[in-house]
Structure 1
């Protein structure tokens, strides 16, 4: 059956409705008008949907940044210079990220990728699902259930005595673990929450010709929150599982070295895989 022709009056009405003058050769059906209207509505809605997606991603990044700062606060990480502390501790866990990438995490501009998330959670002793998605309880609840964990357990003017094998772990998390049963030492000056003491081993820092000397058995006090300058005595972590070392931080012709006071030991060239973890601020030599 042939379709009924469109009456001229209807054709002219449709043309007028679309802004066409009477007698126009363009004929548009009501069906075509409906399709055009739907198409226009769809186009009009697209920017709104795109904007909603952008807003959602912004909210996710901002929420991740807030959780990261909360975890850093609970771990006693200093507020000023956090990017440096994160960079240093990620390297201790085998992950290297640029300062720019870390800054974006802290400023809510991006979310850490899986490898960095794992390293952050191991360092800060938090669950990944909480840091990444906000699922589960916040880390402050975990600290309340384990009152010995975290920086808040530091007694005034007392710092933990850490053996050389435990220095890398302490530097990584910034505090002793829950249930730690080691020794606390009174310090003659007030140090930060991330400070520790250790007992010198070996004679690489013994001066054979007078001057400052650190014989085996003496106790040194280390503050990991202080930045080292050339001439300072430091604790550094060496690459390839060689552990920690106590040396003088020096520079020569634009290069940096770890220098033993005892000249019988060699200089250690500081490369990207050597981490300075703390500045020696004092010593105690028993009689």
Structure 2
């Protein structure tokens, strides 16, 4: 299970850091936050704001976006501690398809909560357009994601990097977007033949064939066949503190 108390405490520490950087006074911070939220039409109760400042809760998506805009920090950093800290421009609407392709489509992405589901559920989600969002809990996604997105908790060490480089150890939370186009080199969730569960691997290609490759070299590469289903692209991750 996700350590929610740890997440809340870590968020509060980053919130105070961002407030310090923005020059917001220490005494009366709750009042200053409340005034800004009212100013932009996103008013929350003073009790709710007090809980943000004391590590008792994390703001909902609308308040989180307002805080990040005001304090000029990235939502990925403020909510989950994912660097870099400073804001970068990022559109909530992305295009998919090759340049000049008449079939290029737009998929609307938004910041919001997605269900944390099991790996068996992820396989069903992929296979039968599973739409029952009955995850054990809901997590705020730190990046724009489609409405069909979901989160998974990494199990095992096949995607743990024994050396330098990006790693996804056991317990890491990954966010999956089934609407995002997957290409060679992407981290993907796939449903392989003869199993009801999904697997997390890197999509690779060689000599005209595609494979699913683990980061940990101790695990085998998986051939992609006609029965293999790519369930979605991993668009974000964080390691709970």
**2 CA distance for matches of 1:263 and 1:242?**
24
Which whole-Å CA distance do the structure 2 matches of 1:183 and 1:283 have between them?
Answer: 16
Which one has a bigger Cα radius of gyration?
Answer: 1
Q: 1:223 to 1:181 in 2, by over 3 A?
A: closer
Residues 262/156 of structure 1: CA separation in 2 closer, same or farther (3 Å cut): closer
Provide closer, same or farther for how the CA distance between residues 219 and 242 of structure 1 changes in structure 2, counting only shifts above 3 A.
Answer: same
Deviation for aligned residue 1:170 = 2.4
Tell me which protein shows more strand as a share of its residues: 2
TM-score (norm 2): 0.52
Aligned 8 A contact 1:232 1:279 in 2:
yes
Equivalent residue number for residue 118 of structure 2: 163
- The alignment's TM-score, normalised by the length of structure 1, stands at 0.44
CA change 1:181–1:250 in 2 (3 A) is: closer
How far did 1:182 drift? Answer: 2.8
Structure 1 residue 169 displacement after superposition: 2.2
In structure 1, the gaps of 5 or more residues are 1-79, 82-154
Q: What's the Cα RMSD here?
A: 2.0
- Report what 1:176 is aligned to: 132
Superposed, 1:44-193 pairs within 5 Å as 157-171=112-126, 172-176=128-132, 180=134, 182-193=136-147
Match of 2:180 among 209, 223, 226: 226
Matches of 1:239 and 1:212, distance apart in 2: 28
Aligned residues: 133
For 2:222 and 2:112, how far apart are their aligned partners in 1? 33
More helix by share: 1
Shift of 1:173: 2.7
1:166: how far off? 1.1
Which structure carries more relative contact order (alpha carbon 8 Å, separation 6+)? 2
